[in-house]
């Protein structure tokens, strides 16, 4: 694959090589890894948004649990299991 770079891109890569990389390939590899990380982040963000939307819909339908009561019930269940 052949890639044509702008003078600004060439300057950027040269500066990156001077500061912390040993080759243009390393600069490109780091850039590709950053793109992959961004895509994974965006995918996870979309998943979290879907989960939030589900939770908000549950709240609108009144499908909620009192947090304090739920914790107290879990603690009681744990105490009962410990007695067995």
Q: What is the pLDDT of residue 49?
A: 98
pLDDT (average), residues 29-52: 98
pLDDT band at 21 (very low <50, low <70, confident <90, very high): confident
Q: What is the pLDDT of residue 79?
A: 95
**What does the domain layout of the chain look like in residue ranges?**
7-83
Q: What is the pLDDT of residue 84?
A: 82
pTM of the model: 0.65
Taking Cα atoms as reference points, which of 38, 34, 33, 28 lies closest to residue 2?
Answer: 28
Q: What span, in angstroms and rounded, lies between the C-alpha atoms of 20 and 18? A: 6
pLDDT (average), residues 18-28: 92
DSSP 5: -
b/e string for 1-28 if b means 16 or more Cβ within 10 A? Answer: eeeeeeeeeeeebeebeeeebeeeeebe
Instruction: Please enumerate in sequence order all residues whose Cβ is within 8 A of that of 5, keeping only pairs 6 or more positions apart, or say none.
Output: 13
């Amino acid at each position: 694959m052949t890639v044509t770079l702008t003078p600004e891109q060439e300057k950027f890569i040269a500066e990156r090589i001077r500061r912390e990389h040993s080759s243009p390939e390393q600069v490109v590899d780091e850039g590709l890894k950053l793109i992959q990380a961004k895509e994974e982040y965006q995918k996870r963000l979309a998943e979290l948004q879907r989960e939030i939307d589900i939770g908000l819909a549950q709240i609108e339908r009144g499908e909620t649990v009192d947090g304090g009561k739920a914790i107290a019930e879990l603690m009681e269940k744990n105490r009962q299991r410990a007695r067995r």
